[in-house]
């Protein structure tokens, strides 16, 4: 592969180390490749609010794909250039099905307020779910009924039961389903429900069309299941070595997220 025109980087567990920081080396690399004209794109499952909790408005990237592909922002101008949401009727349909299944879930508000949500909890113990609610206690509200549901960015179902994955994929085949490992306890499964065909990969395609860049000219770097949609389409794809084994078998593996993985990848294509 020739020198890439763009690089797509996942955030949690990839660019961010275990202390939720970007290494000094990777930060220098972002600045360096930007000066070389490489388009720098972060693709994260975080909302805008959550992204801003770990990185500031001057962070050296060009575009931000957030809410796992539901939104795209021009990071320099802060303009949201694309957003998707679930229609009200479908929100009600999904909520009723999840209610029947007795699965703990959140309904995230429309972009740009997708950090705000209403929720239903059925299990007596769900440590990860409770921890999220504690972190967002000023932005969340428990649902008492489904009368006033409205358009939403996504549903998030959180469980330690891996069987929930197949259950949700079966029940919600008309929607986009994205699986991710919890960014909080690193164990629980987060199953996220979106409009059909909304994911990080579809947003990468849309952004590349806008920028007139071929997917073959892009490098991808991720670490989890919700990165597969873009890792499958980029010209060269890498995962950090703390990724699930199934991803490490499929893509090229680089160093841990604690060892400046972006630096390692970029050095394969550019001279220091």
Share of the chain above pLDDT 70, in %: 99
Residue with tokens 């490490």, as numbered in its chain: 248
> What is the pTM assigned to this prediction?
0.93
Delimiting residues of CATH 3.30.1240.10 domain(s) in the chain: 88-194
Q: Contact, 30 vs 61, CB < 8 A?
A: yes
Nearest Cα to Cα of residue 83 among 51, 134, 48, 131 = 48
Give yes or no for residue 100 having a pLDDT over 70. yes
* Model confidence band, residue 272 (pLDDT cutoffs 50, 70, 90): low
* Model confidence band, residue 180 (pLDDT cutoffs 50, 70, 90): confident
pLDDT per residue over 35-59, tens digit each? 999 999 999 999 999 999 999 999 9
Nearest Cα to Cα of residue 84 among 167, 194, 159, 190 = 194
CATH code of the domain made up of 88-194 = 3.30.1240.10
Give backbone dihedrals phi and psi of 80, rounded to 5 degrees, phi first: -80, 115
Delimiting residues of CATH 3.40.50.1000 domain(s) in the chain: 6-84+198-266
Of residues 23 and 127, more confidently modeled: 23
d(CA 252, CA 37): 24
d(CA 107, CA 115): 10
Any idea which architecture 6-84+198-266 has in CATH? 3-Layer(aba) Sandwich (3.40)
């Amino acid at each position: 592969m020739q020198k890439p025109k763009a690089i797509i980087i996942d955030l949690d567990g990839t660019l961010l180390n275990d202390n939720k920081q970007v290494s000094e080396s990777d930060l220098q690399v972002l600045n360096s490749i930007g000066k070389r004209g490489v388009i720098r794109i972060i693709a994260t499952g975080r909302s805008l609010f959550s992204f801003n909790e770990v990185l500031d408005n001057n962070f050296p990237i060009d575009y931000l794909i957030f809410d796992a592909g539901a939104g795209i922002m021009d990071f320099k101008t802060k303009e949201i250039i694309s957003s998707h949401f679930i229609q009200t009727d479908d929100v009600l349909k999904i909520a009723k099905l999840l209610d029947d299944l007795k699965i703990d879930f959140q309904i995230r508000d429309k972009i740009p307020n997708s950090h705000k949500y209403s929720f239903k909890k059925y299990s007596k113990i769900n440590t990860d779910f409770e921890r999220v609610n504690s972190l967002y206690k000023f932005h969340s509200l428990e649902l008492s009924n489904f009368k006033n549901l409205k358009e939403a960015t996504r549903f998030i179902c959180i469980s330690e039961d891996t069987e929930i994955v197949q259950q949700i994929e079966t029940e919600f085949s008309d929607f986009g389903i994205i699986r991710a490992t919890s960014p909080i306890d690193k164990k629980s499964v987060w199953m996220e429900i979106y409009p059909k065909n909304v994911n990080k990969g579809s947003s990468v395609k849309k952004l590349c069309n806008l920028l007139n860049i071929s997917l073959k000219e892009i490098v991808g770097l991720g670490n989890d299941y919700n990165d597969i949609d873009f890792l499958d389409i980029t010209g060269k794809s890498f995962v950090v070595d703390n990724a699930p084994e199934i991803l490490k078998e499929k893509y090229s593996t680089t160093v841990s997220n604690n060892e400046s993985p972006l630096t390692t990848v970029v050095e394969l294509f550019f001279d220091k």
